[in-house]
Structure 1
Amino acid sequence: MKKANTKHRPEKQASLIVDKENELLKFLIAQLPQQGRNSIKSLLAHRQISVDGEVTTLFNYPLVAGQKVNINRSKVYQERRELKPLGLKIFFEDEYLIIIEKPAGMLSIATDREKELTAYNVLSTHIKKRDNQSRVFVVHRLDRETSGVMMFAKSEEIKEKLQNAWKEVVLERSYAVVVHGPLTDDQGTITSWLTENKALRMYSSKTPNGGQKAVTHYKVLEKNNSYSLLEVKLETGRKNQIRIHMQDIGHSVIGDIKYGGIKSSINRLGLHAHILAFKHPVTNEIMHFESPIPKEFLSFFHKKQNK
């Protein structure tokens, strides 16, 4: 009989003994160096930390020497197993926010025309398993074929707080983008005004014409004779902004048939939400989340040489 592989399976429960006075969050960060600060805060928010048998969610809970801090991970592992078949990764979750990695091909939220599986209803199901009254709210969207970091709120109040102060709250939105052709300029800024027609297609204009101002900054990371890999940062967040601005400079996103591109060998849009950094709307902590550049993007530039 084949034995189960448990080589890298963490203990579902762990106990730590306090050696001196400290605050709980600082103690956990020092004791669990392999875990990130946000991951530890998520354990607290999910009521998975107890001190001498008493569950607490307080970051600054005062500890004294001799106390026992218990960590119960079983709940997290169960939730990850349930979400794994849907291909949705949760980077961070507390009582106010959920930060995810959305895969390419999944809608952010259903539309009047499309009612299929979405990131929104996957997360709704996820949180309702703990509390049937819980809800999630879309703070911003990613196109169906765009992958990467995305934020949801757990209350309408938090959603509105984020959206109303979006420019002040969001510190960085960075995308990895593969476009057709080598760019001449290694960096630049694109500014135009975007409007949407009745067919839901966005158009770009060099003059206002009643449209919304859109500003996109780009930097070339790598390029060859056929493609360029760009780091793109948004100063504004308009619908289809990156796709339209890439078309404006004559280098459409690969796979973007709607805005001047052609079908790509990786069968997806060459657009990935790489980094999202923002100020937490309640704790004011600076949060930074990064989803690696997809390997299929890099394959255009790092093809293995035939021996």
Structure 2
Amino acid sequence: MSEQMEVVTLQVEEDRSGERLDKWVSTYDPDWSRVRVQEWISEGLITVDGKPKKSNYKVRTGETVEISVPPVEELQVEAENIPLDIVYEDEDVIVVNKPRGMVVHPGAGNNTGTLVNAVLYHCKDSLSGIGGVARPGVVHRIDKDTSGLLMLAKNDHAHHSLVDQLKAKSVERVYAAIVHGLIPHEHGTVDAPIGRDPIHRQRMAINHNNGKDAVTHFRVKEHLKDTSLIECRLETGRTHQIRVHMKYINFPLVGDPVYGPSKSQIRFEGGQALHAQVLGFEHPRTGEFMRFEVEPPGDFQALLRKLRNQM
């Protein structure tokens, strides 16, 4: 075993007996994602009573689980002079309007051109370090092909405050979206847990066995040509939440390459018609509630005009 690996030894408690091995291990450290743990299991880095097991192995009371944690490879994130649409900034927080097509933070295959690269250049050393080297200041994310408002923390106090507000569900997050179909009711709520799709691992899905609670409130703003303009309010913030929830109720987002219909006569290039329009939170220092709103970008507005003209 590599000398650089940290070996963690755990014992299965009685009240956790019967859980899947990957789920059980992933709860012991917030940085150990389920996917990461599954990779370790497949590489033989996790054993149960000295023997390798599969991810779906059901752990039993008293078993000893040994995890050989590989060293973290730190990304070298470079500051880049990329234009930013800054909606608000002070010594604690920065709120930006992210364009469609921009990744939030560096990762596999995306080390440059991200929002973090741009913010590093703009803020210099004034960003919270809690998110680590690859995610300085990042409190929450929106998808690459979703536009709109995003808040970042410029110090650790602000970071903790904003994360706590997200956990307490007190942050206001409202999205504009265009979905396929005419939703027959004015408003509704989708309350369905979201987790990794067991078949297509790169996707998320409604997962009642291993998913996390997810709640989306929506309101129909306008009926268009075979589509609906809606407003979605997030109560939780799961990966791809609005996209998965709207597909679940059979009104998938227009342009969504993953969760939308395979064929559509409506052309919207570059991803889903989804925009983070409103963001509201309590300022970490002053306690004042701050609310920001930006209209959807030009391509979203052009699609709206086209659909209205077809009525």
Which TM-score tier does this pair reach, normalised by the shorter chain? Answer: 0.5 to 0.7
Task: Verify: 1:275 aligned to 2:278, yes or no.
Answer: yes
Is the 1:176–1:230 Cα contact (8 Å) retained in structure 2? yes
Deviations 1:117-162, CA, capped at 9 Å, x for gaps: 111110101111xxxx333410100100000000000123321232
- Higher fraction of strand: 1
TM-score, normalised to structure 1's length?
Answer: 0.65
Letter in 2 for 1:256: D
Query: Any unmatched runs of 5+ in structure 2?
Result: 1-79, 128-135
Q: Look up the match of 1:203.
A: 205
Task: Verify: 1:176 aligned to 2:179, yes or no.
Answer: no
**Distance apart, 1:197 and its partner CA:** 4.9
**Distance apart, 1:295 and its partner CA:** 4.1
SS at 1:165's partner residue? Answer: helix
Q: Look up the match of 2:126.
A: 134
* RMSD, aligned CA: 2.3
Q: Look up the match of 2:249.
A: 249
Q: Following the alignment from structure 2 to structure 1, what is the Cα–Cα distance between the partners of residues 226 and 170? A: 34
Query: Any unmatched runs of 5+ in structure 1?
Result: 1-82
SS at 2:120's partner residue? Answer: helix
Letter in 1 for 2:93: L
**Distance apart, 1:276 and its partner CA:** 0.3
Q: Following the alignment from structure 2 to structure 1, what is the Cα–Cα distance between the partners of residues 268 and 84? A: 20
**Distance apart, 1:270 and its partner CA:** 0.3
Distance 1:173 1:216, change over 3 A: same
**Distance apart, 1:169 and its partner CA:** 6.9
Q: Following the alignment from structure 2 to structure 1, what is the Cα–Cα distance between the partners of residues 274 and 83? A: 18
What is the aligned counterpart of 2:86 among 90, 102, 123?
90
Identity %: 37
Is the 2:222–2:230 Cα contact (8 Å) retained in structure 1? yes
Task: Verify: 1:222 aligned to 2:222, yes or no.
Answer: yes
Q: Look up the match of 2:299.
A: 296
Deviations 1:80-100, CA, capped at 9 Å, x for gaps: xxx9x8452001111111000
Number of residue equivalences: 217
Is the 2:186–2:220 Cα contact (8 Å) retained in structure 1? yes
Distance 1:228 1:295, change over 3 A: farther
